[in-house]
Amino acid sequence: MQKFLTLICLVALLTACSKENQTNRVDSRIDSLINVMTLEEKVGQLSLYTSDWDVTGPTMRQGYKEDIKKGRVGAIFNAFTAKYTRELQEMAVKETRLHIPLIFGYDVIHGHRTIFPIPLGAAASWDMEAIEKSDRIAAEEASAEGLHWAFSPMLDIARDPRWGRIAEGAGEDTYLGSRIAEARVRGLQGKGVGELNSVMACVKHFAAYGAAQAGRDYHTVDMSDRMFREVYLPPYAAAIKAGAATVMSSFNEFDGVPASGSKYLMTDLLRGELKFNGFVVSDYTSIMEMIPHGVVADTASAAALALEAGVDMDMQAGFYEEALGKLVKKGTINEQLINTSVRRILKKKFELGLFDDPYRYSDVEREKNTVMKLEFLEAARDVARKSIVLLKNGQLPRQEKLLLPLSKEVKQLAVIGPLADARKEMIGSWSAAGDWKKSVTLLEGIKAAVSPKTNVLFARGCNISDDSTTYFAEAVRVADKADVVVLALGEGAWMTGEAASRASLALPGVQQKLVEEIAKTGKPIVVVLMNGRPLTINWIAGHIPAILETWFLGTQAGNAIADVLFGDFNPSGKLPVTFPRSVGQIPIFYNMKNTGRPMDRNNKYTSKYLDEENEPLYPFGFGLSYTTFEYGAIKLLKEHITTQDELTVLCKVTNTGTRAGEEVVQLYVRDLIGSVTRPVKELKKFQKITLQPGESREVSFTLSIQDLAFYRSNMSFGTEPGDFHVFIGGNSRDTKAAKFVLD
């Protein structure tokens, strides 16, 4: 045994030495390369330019081709396919003086060719394994098409659904967002940078972009350091700790300084506090945009401010290429600053293996055998159905059964609505290289699922966003013939994502009028929502018996929704974001703080609206199932703990229905008294469990002292003694509670 242990130690030592030697060799090669680079070639490594795409395929502007050949470009984005990336790589490697390869990047947000649910939708699965798998597949496809780098994950906490880019993130909660951040980095990077089926992750948008004022994209962000550190920073930090290779600066200002010019964000916090050791890229032209922000007057000042802040690569503005060489020659900036950024970028190129084989990712045969494999499509369908949230399931008149799931034997089934057969909308915004022509519509999914004897009727009813009621009459006629109506409503894919802020969260166009007209027929109706943000659907919630929130589910959308509609899959999704009753409630989120005058319906002089409820329409964490779950009383193994202890919290959950089902068991904590005010609830743990009908399980959670820590009045991070409440339930509102004390 002793010899065996000695051998293990020796192997470990040799492995460590080997890794250290390899690192030293890479560092030595980088130093040697930098020593022979001209200033122009160094600046070139800091420049990122776009490729283009037209009806005939990928193209490159002639000026950019010349830049590549002269070594004035370090990376290209929006270029993919194995053939095209090899063509561009050959320009860089064969025609430049030093043969330095390019990095190819792309917005691989929720899939590459096989499109998965939008990130907000995937977050509704609360399934870290499914989320990681979706990004693992995205990385396999992207890397097979010559890509090295994904501009993902987007980790901006968002509490204002007017902001279109809420669709790209994990919603409103810091803890859930942090766990998803880790899963996405693991999925994209796999076993590490340089693995042939992986791509570099890019944490974005650093920092606090999701707090844009008034929900308006690119707008100002203003918050306290406490709010930033407690709510917005942790998901970025979790991704960096998980090994994310790169970071992208955000468009917004932070504490009065645009993020791309903030030394506090890019150097002091990111590299100093968070120990990030990759490279930072600006968002699209964000260095240029510091001029209209009003902190710099010209190109040279913007380039100097960004480089000195710690932004290594300039995306698309061309400011680094235009100004940095001149600034060095004038003595305005030190060339060592440029060398530092070049070293960071070259290191990633070495880690990717591009200096050993520049074309290793550009393999046409691998591309052909990888993209949109059957197993990838099956995974997309599975993740999609896990992302669906059942918001309501009412009882049919004069019957005991609930409306959902529908019978596949229904004789006449009407599928109505502007999103019922809208193939292009299925894959949502930021759908990368996804081909919407290959997506499955809801109408197709339903037709494939029902009995051959079922007559599926279809009517568009109206368009997504115009005011025409021309198609109403036809839709009503179709509904009148049906036994059940499935009504597909929501937003267009173009209405969410970047530059897609909305002042109203109502159904666009005349869709609300369409619902009301179809409801007058008296037929049982299931509303299927497709959208990239919470919508205000009060009338639907009050008048329609069944509602499914399906987001934009991707390539397999129609099949996944049909799986849930007809009971082949029991819905288990939970909302990652609060659904308001009206825009006037925004911002609204579950982990608010109390006021000195909490709402009292009987006292006017308390915190409430005159014309609206305080409570949301649907709370964070909410989602129904085709079965029911009962939560028992919470049991604590200790009622008093010290800072040296962990607390075990137990709760029995029982499936009281007739179907097997998954439940996301959620644990929240409240610190009752602190040196600063604390939220009324904070998500700290969750588990997704599967129970058979009648089965019970005692779910166990362990709370550490770190779970009870916060930024105290002096901004130190730690705990304070006192009373705590712990809550467990199926959403943030409907919970059981218990008390414990931290001594």
**Enzyme catalytic residues:** 283
Integer Cα distance of 520 and 453 in angstroms: 27
The pair phi, psi for residue 363, each rounded to 5°, is -115, 105
Q: CB–CB of 698/665 below 8 Å?
A: no
Chain mean position to CA 344: 26
CA dist., res. 454 & res. 617, Å (int):
35
3-state secondary structure of 342: helix
How far CA 642 is from CA of 241, 673, 717, 720, in Å, comes to 28, 17, 17, 10
Burial of 581 (0-12, 13-18, 19+ CB in 10 A): buried
| Cα 86 to Cα 363: distance, rounded to the nearest angstrom | 8
Q: What is the edge-to-edge ordering of all strands in the sheet holding 279-281?
A: 202-206, 246-249, 279-281
Tokens of 503: 């002042």
β pairing state of 279-281 and 246-249: parallel
Q: By CB neighbour count within 10 A (0-12 exposed, 13-18 middle, 19+ buried), where does 568 fall? A: middle
User: Long-range contact list for 22-26, CB < 8 A, 24+ apart?
Assistant: 26/347, 26/350, 26/351
Cα–Cα distance measured from residue 626 to residue 719, given in angstroms and rounded to the nearest whole number: 41
DSSP one-letter string for 310-333: T--BEESS-HHHHHHHHHHHHTSS
Residue 133 CB neighbour total at 10 angstroms = 20
CA gap 373, 504 in Å, rounded: 40
For residue 166, give Cα distances in angstroms to 182, 216, 282, 403, 575. 19, 11, 20, 31, 13
Cβ contact 349:53 at 8 Å: no
Here the tokens at position 411 are: 């004789």
Other Cβ atoms closer than 10 A to 339: 16
**Cβ-based neighbour number of residue 196 at 10 Å:** 15
Measure the CA–CA gap between 249 and 209, rounded to whole angstroms: 9
> What is the token pair recorded at 140?
């396999």
Sheet holding 546-549, edge to edge: 389-393, 546-549, 525-530, 484-490, 412-416, 455-459
Nearest to 589 by CA among 534, 546, 634, 542: 534
* Contact partners, residue 263, CB within 8 Å, separation at least 6: 308, 309, 310
- The sign one gets for the Cα dihedral 604, 609, 612, 614 is negative
